[in-house]
Structure 1
């Protein structure tokens, strides 16, 4: 079982292997990536399918893991393909094959389509991805917002989302946003979501040895109005236990009891290297060091049993009331290999090839 630091190094090796075949590799998450292999056939003397097969074999041979690969015209279709033969298959969705792969795929299983859009599509009599893709352009542009229109175009084989080929080793900021359905005004449930956003953002910051100087808290209303509040920390920290009190203050400044909210978000700003920590005159260095040691243990356990295995008590309502998930789980979340449990997963990265 890999801890979070080792897992990060493992995934970086995977991304570097992919870059042998194309410089255009987008690190979508720690265990998923997109690669644009357009124009590489002559250089590598192989077909696009052959390049994907070589890339897959290289990763499996050098890292000793299985990866799921989807090859297609667009990012959305490549994601569809990668889910088709999980956990270790290769699926090619050519233009002439799009209909075959979309005709039985529920619309809600498409990358980027969440519960609210799925429900709206159902009201229009649209149940499958193919039915959505076959909607007339005029109707789509009239009834949907830009993100849904872009997904509609991608499902039709029209590439809208480019592969952003930069290595994620330095971050100007780290943001985590969670949309849930139905909208709610429940104070503690909303704060639980906000705190879980903070925990997720801090996990990513610690993975890269970073800590923020500022944090920004966001609440999004049912009418898509955003309210935000920002605070400067007395010193950089990526430890939620040290930040939760400040986050509660920001939340109380934003929250309106009679307002319905559909999303919460946290942004870590002015990131700096988390080294040579200097404590303020008003802090207890001993207490601060104990909290740091605590999170070293938390990260170790999370590497073994899954992210958020240990979490702050104020975020626990999510475990009791549900997370109101919007959109489909990741391929890795949906895939449970022999011997795995909901909390315990092997570190098997998944990649998508466009």
Structure 2
């Protein structure tokens, strides 16, 4: 009788712990918002909330593609460089072929580079870390060659008016981010491709035995990741009116932090867009709040380093939880 009573008494506690583990990122986000709200009177203003959502949306769009790749058990370190190339092409070609053809070529450059990354990973057997690290270096070099190591200026500033569409505090960039996140959450939860993404990341051999074309599947997800990096680069070029050769530098790091902080496993097989949204917003709130408090850049880097370690600890806990199920 006593044993049964102990189980019943501990059950609510276990339920709370389980809920916190599943929703850790939203708890962390709520705590972060509460702390910065008390620390700065400017934090919870409509303008600043809009800034947080817009700033976070750029990393968020990258994080959507990264989530697809990481659930597969892979990683893409080239997204920042792909972003920079798409941005440079979208602005640099406007004088020659017009605005929208230039934007289209910028978008296709991301899809093509994602396809190349996926093909190399799938067919060569090399780890995606090595393949996309090479892509990061090579593509960034290509951007410097194309731009002549200078920032490219938009020829017609009406191009920069496109993202100036708002719905309350939501900018067009933020709306695109949330729309894409909802769409790819539907892909993950309600389509064959989504189910296969989890299967490949969880156990690649079992997925192959089940008849899943693993190579084609990985190529598709890398192509999605590259395309979304290009979307991010094009939106950034619209917002700034320039294309810097260093655009998106170390953004791949922020993207990986956001995705892992949200709960996507580095080993693959676990994650969701809902949790990635939480990771993106948490990262955006942290960076915005620290800047509102006039925190020195080195302190911000130290905090982000601590957040990265926290993300890796969470990844370890999630892996342990998955191994014990």
Verify same fold: TM over 0.5: no
Bigger proportion of residues as helix:
2
Higher relative contact order (CA 8 A, sep 6+): 2
Bigger proportion of residues as strand:
1
